[in-house]
Structure 1
Amino acid sequence: MSVNSHELSADICIPPTEQAIVQRRIFRYVLGLVVACALALGIGWGLSFVAPVFLAKFLVDHQKPTSHTISQLLLAMTVTVLIGLSVSAGITHYPLPLLLLLSLLMFTAYYLFMDPQWNFFATILMIAVMLLPFMGIISPSLAVYIGVGLTTSGVVAVLLFGLLHLVLPDIAPMNDNQTQPVSSLTHDQRVFESLKALTISFPIIAYFYYFQITGAILTMAFIGLLSLQTAGQKSVKVSMFLLLTNIIGGLVAIVYYELLVMVPHFLFLLSLIALIGLVLGKKIFNEPAKAPIWAGVMSALLVLLGSAVASDSKLIDDSFYIRIAQIMMASIYMIVVSFILDKWQYKQEVTECSE
């Protein structure tokens, strides 16, 4: 009888299939998006729409949280927001030193972004650099409000990330290497690529800062984030990829927004998020090679919809489509400048080889 029970238990302990593992990750991704959007849009703190964006990034980039991962993410948010707040404390009264400090912080973000272990830190740093000093020019209290909101969004995303993995842990490892990969570029290459990315983004950022174009804050933040992706050796291809993801994300956002206008209910909003998350989640986890494309589509969608829903403007329809147009223009700008710089770099390499 005991032998039969052992045989029965052996039969029951069947290892999970790869499909079951993927389904668990898709379900966790959809559930995380719905919960994060419900909290962000339901409570509505400053920059609350950023929390779902962060969480979606965590669930795609980090398959399993560790104490080191969570503590590093929390440290990244705390340090970078403190940097942004300190910048906006007094230097905003001096335009040239402010722009010089901005360029230094942006260069640091680009340099760190090319090291996978500092990827998220660099992302938060770039957001803080783009938004906090600019808000400090308008009002120091507004900069504090934005800083607190950014920190809150990050903390919410990290806590939800850990909670989701606690409630829905991976059934079994799916050939994942949990150790962070190291940068494949040398120090000199990272410096060069950082300078190239800074050359692409800084002129338009300086323009926004100098003329204080408050209506283009989201565009400025997008340029900063998009330029992070160009901090590599194929900036034109990356820029084309970013334009593609933003176009798809913008089209999905338009359809989503028009449906939401026809049925303006919170539960309907969350249902649409769940539906889109399910469709994109299947693409992300079933096709890892194309995961960055679909993850980028979801990020663009969450930023556009979140900023529109969180807006108190009565001209929400106009501002929504203006945001989409601005992001498309920012993507095109990135492609044009990246093409010029890459072509110049190619000519320099040909000249050096001929010599």
Structure 2
Amino acid sequence: MSDDSELIGQNNSSSNANRSDEQRRYYRRVTRYVVGVVVACGLAFGIGWGLSFIFPVFLAKFLADFPVSNRERFQQLLLAMVLTVLIGLSVSMGVTNYPVILLLLVGLLMFYAYYLFLDPQWNFFATILLIAVLLLPYLGITNSGLAIYVGAGLIFSGVLAVIAFAVLHWLFSEEEQQNDLATASPDLLSQQQRVQEAIKALIVAYPVVVYFYYFQINGAILTMVFIGILSLQITTVKSIKISVFLLLTNGVGGLLALVLYELMVTTPEFLLLLALLSLVSLVIGARIYQQPEKAPIWAGVMSAMLVVLGGVISSDSKFIEVSFYARITQIILASVYMILASLLFDLWRSRSK
């Protein structure tokens, strides 16, 4: 009887120790996320450089997607950052005088980015590739010098995000656990499934991209960045309806950006903005690490908020010349389109089975 009591006591103490370790890791990850987002926003909004608002967007995404990291991942992120921008620049410089060929190449590279994104090892490479392919050829059509300027800004923001990601993991380090390894290396989709998901994302996003390229819409850069990030997120949604996902991320993220913008206009204090961002990132970070199955939703909310708000605060008149509400309107229209296109595509695919 005493042996049984000792065994029960050991099991209880072991389970309490495991629970305590999990809580420490949870608090460490949330702290890392809040510190990273707030410091990145402070640098990007306070200093400002070409495409500086991309820096906190990338960093927030890295921290949400990779709670555990290592040297190999840092090296891969840096390599991906440089290579993808070079690919985007080469496309923008070579075929901008041939619109049909340019749009075909952009479509092919978008499909390839969606396909790669479904492999976690190529997640960041695909993200940078898609954004570079959307933005740089668009700018190269009208001004090749502007494409180089934005490409340099994209490289700088991306490399800075990777460095900040590495520093944050060094400051708030944690040991890899078995369940972390399982989370970091999920079961890959089959090649056929990856192709199907990539085609779905391309069908949803490509018509909007063609529209912006054809009509050269003013302020389209910010909207295309948003569409690129959002269309990548579509490929990862499995357990919820795509329309609900888009509605939640866009609606909540846009509403948060609107509230912060109005507070900033009413009380233009930079420290107040950082305090509000700390509160928002604390709530979102807690949700991301508390409910990993719903992490894409909360990460999407943060991306939407940072893209809209950051595009205004750190805007550069060289390539963004539309008002905050004009940007909001463009993103809302793009979101409505993507929701309807996703619904129609899902209906068509369900009926064809």
Q: TM-score range, shorter-chain basis?
A: 0.7 to 0.9
Q: CA RMSD in A?
A: 2.5
Give the superposition deviation at 1:31: 0.9
Give the superposition deviation at 1:215: 2.4
Give the superposition deviation at 1:275: 1.6
43-52 vs 261-270, greater mean Cα deviation: 261-270
- Distance (whole Å) between structure 2 residues aligned to residue 224 and residue 97 of structure 1: 20
Which residue pairs with 2:7 in the alignment? none
1:269 to 247, 250, 273: 273
Give the superposition deviation at 1:39: 1.4
- Distance (whole Å) between structure 1 residues aligned to residue 74 and residue 346 of structure 2: 37
Unmatched 5+ residue regions in structure 2? 1-16
The one-letter code matched in structure 2 to 1:255 is: V
- Distance (whole Å) between structure 1 residues aligned to residue 266 and residue 321 of structure 2: 13
Which residue pairs with 1:324 in the alignment? 328
SS in 2 for 1:175: helix
Write out per-residue CA displacement over residues 174-215 of structure 1, whole angstroms, 9 at most, x where no aligned residue: 831167425532222322332232222212211211111132
The one-letter code matched in structure 2 to 1:253 is: A
Report if the CA contact (8 A) 2:91-2:137 is conserved. Answer: yes
Give the superposition deviation at 1:37: 1.1
The one-letter code matched in structure 2 to 1:63 is: P
Which residue pairs with 1:347 in the alignment? 351
Report if the CA contact (8 A) 1:236-1:338 is conserved. Answer: no
Asked if residue 50 in structure 1 is aligned to residue 54 in structure 2, the reply is yes
Which residue pairs with 2:150 in the alignment? 146
Unmatched 5+ residue regions in structure 1? 1-12, 350-355
Which residue pairs with 1:352 in the alignment? none
Which residue pairs with 1:164 in the alignment? 168
The one-letter code matched in structure 2 to 1:204 is: V
Which residue pairs with 2:122 in the alignment? 118
CA distance 1:192–1:281, change in 2 (3 Å): closer
124-133 vs 215-224, greater mean Cα deviation: 215-224
1:41 to 35, 39, 45: 45
- Distance (whole Å) between structure 1 residues aligned to residue 191 and residue 230 of structure 2: 22
- Distance (whole Å) between structure 2 residues aligned to residue 72 and residue 343 of structure 1: 38
Runs of 4+ in 1 over 6 A off after TM superposition: none
The one-letter code matched in structure 1 to 2:58 is: F
- Distance (whole Å) between structure 1 residues aligned to residue 278 and residue 271 of structure 2: 10
- Distance (whole Å) between structure 2 residues aligned to residue 339 and residue 238 of structure 1: 7
CA distance 1:168–1:232, change in 2 (3 Å): closer
Give the superposition deviation at 1:270: 1.4
SS in 1 for 2:306: helix
76-85 vs 189-198, greater mean Cα deviation: 189-198
Over the matched positions of the two proteins, sequence identity in percent amounts to 58
CA distance 1:336–1:236, change in 2 (3 Å): farther
- Distance (whole Å) between structure 2 residues aligned to residue 37 and residue 266 of structure 1: 11
Which residue pairs with 1:68 in the alignment? 72
- Distance (whole Å) between structure 1 residues aligned to residue 128 and residue 316 of structure 2: 25
Report if the CA contact (8 A) 2:219-2:321 is conserved. Answer: no
Write out per-residue CA displacement over residues 86-109 of structure 1, whole angstroms, 9 at most, x where no aligned residue: 111131111111011111101101
Write out per-residue CA displacement over residues 250-296 of structure 1, whole angstroms, 9 at most, x where no aligned residue: 11111111111122122222111112111222222222232222221
Report if the CA contact (8 A) 1:21-1:172 is conserved. Answer: no
- Distance (whole Å) between structure 1 residues aligned to residue 97 and residue 115 of structure 2: 28
Report if the CA contact (8 A) 1:117-1:182 is conserved. Answer: no
Give the superposition deviation at 1:77: 0.9
Which residue pairs with 2:34 in the alignment? 30
CA distance 1:174–1:303, change in 2 (3 Å): farther
1:108 to 108, 112, 133: 112
2:192 to 188, 192, 211: 188
- Distance (whole Å) between structure 1 residues aligned to residue 217 and residue 240 of structure 2: 27
Which residue pairs with 2:11 in the alignment? none
Between the two proteins, the alignment pairs up a number of residues equal to: 335
- Distance (whole Å) between structure 2 residues aligned to residue 53 and residue 219 of structure 1: 14
Which residue pairs with 2:3 in the alignment? none
TM-score with structure 1 setting the length: 0.87
CA distance 1:184–1:28, change in 2 (3 Å): closer
- Distance (whole Å) between structure 2 residues aligned to residue 201 and residue 15 of structure 1: 43
- Distance (whole Å) between structure 2 residues aligned to residue 48 and residue 85 of structure 1: 18
- Distance (whole Å) between structure 1 residues aligned to residue 182 and residue 39 of structure 2: 26
Which residue pairs with 2:230 in the alignment? 226
Report if the CA contact (8 A) 1:34-1:274 is conserved. Answer: yes
268-277 vs 50-59, greater mean Cα deviation: 268-277
